[in-house]
Structure 1
C-alpha cells in the first residue's frame, strides 16, 4: 500500500475519536479506487531476457574512426580528441579513465 508521507498525521487522541462508521467509509473509499488490470495483457508487452532473437536483423551503420577521434588504451572506447587526458606507455587515455 502506498503511503503519503507528506500528508498531515493524526495524533493518538484524534485517532481514538474516529468512529467505526468513519473508518468503514474510509476502507470502502480506498477499495473503490482500485483498477482491475488484466495481467496477461501486461505480461505480453515485456521482453524477457534471453529471448530468441535469431530471426531479428539489425541494421546499424558502422563508421570507421575519424581523424579527430582516438581509441582509449584503457577502456577501448572511441572518443573525440577533446576527451584526451594524456598518453601512457604510448597509448592515449581518455578523461574518464584518467579520473
Structure 2
C-alpha cells in the first residue's frame, strides 16, 4: 500500500475513534482480495531457457566401485574419502553429518 509521507499524520487514538466498523471491514476485504493464487508450475513452464533442450544429448558417466581409502557415510549414504571421516563417531559418519 502506498503511503503519502507529505500528508499530515494522525494519531492511533484518532484512527480508532474515527474508523467505523464498516470502514474496517471494507479495508480488511480490500487487503484480502489482493492475494493471488498462482501455481508455480504454470509459471515455471512458461519460461524457456536458451540452450535448455537436451533431448538430443547423451550423457555418459563412468562409475567406479568404492575404493579402499573411501567409506560410505551411515547418515547421508554418500561415499567419501577417509580424510572426511568424523573421529568422534563410532560408526562411519562424515564430518558434515557429525557437525
Q: Structure 2-normalised TM-score? A: 0.42
Q: Structure 1-normalised TM-score? A: 0.42
* Greater fraction of residues in strand: 1
